[in-house]
Amino acid sequence: MSYVPTSVVTTAAITAAAAKAARDRQEEEDMTGYSKADLDGWEFKIMRSNMGKFKDYQKVQILCQEEAKAGWEMVEKFDNYRIRFKRRIDKRAGDRSLQTDPYRTNVGVGSGKMVLTISAVVFLLIGVLFFLIIYLKS
C-alpha cells in the first residue's frame, strides 16, 4: 500500500489556502468600483472569518457594534466570510483610547492557524493509519 508523504499534504493545503486568498482578493477588487471622490477622506477594511461566523445575524450585529467604537461603518457583506467596513480618516484620532486594534481584520481563527490545524489533523490521521496498517500486518 502506498501513502502520500505528509509534507506533500501540508504543501497542498498551504497552496490551496494561498490560491483561495488570491481569488478572494481579486473578487474584492472587482466588487469595488470606487471613484476618487468616494475614497477622499475615507479608509476601508475587510473583516474576515475563516469559520463563516458572518452567517449568524447576531454575530454580525455584535461585530458592527464593536467596530463602531472606532468609527467603522459596515458597507457590505460579501458572504459569510467577509464584510467591508469604512470610516472617516479623522476617526483615527480616537484610536489610542480603544481596547481593541482598530485595524484588525480577522475574527476568530486566522488563516495561518487554520492551515496549521488542518495539517496537524492530517499528520495525526496519517500516523494512525500507518500504525493500524503495521499493527494489522503483524
pLDDT in tens, 45-76: 999 998 899 999 999 999 999 999 999 999 99
Alpha-carbon gap, residue 28 to 107, rounded angstroms: 18
What does the radius of gyration of the chain's CA atoms come to, in whole angstroms?
21
Q: What predicted TM-score, i.e. pTM, was given to this entire model?
A: 0.64
| Better-scored residue on pLDDT, 25 or 41 | 41
Residue 85 in contact with residue 45, Cβ under 8 Å? yes
| 24, 28, 30, 36 alpha-carbon torsion, rounded to 10° | -150
**DSSP codes of every residue in 22-73:** HHHHHHHHHH----HHHHTTEEEEEEE-TT-GGGSHHHHHHHHHHHHTTT-E
| 86-126 confidence digits (pLDDT tens) | 999 999 999 999 998 999 999 875 556 666 666 777 778 88
For residue 132, pLDDT beyond 60: yes
Residue type, 50: N
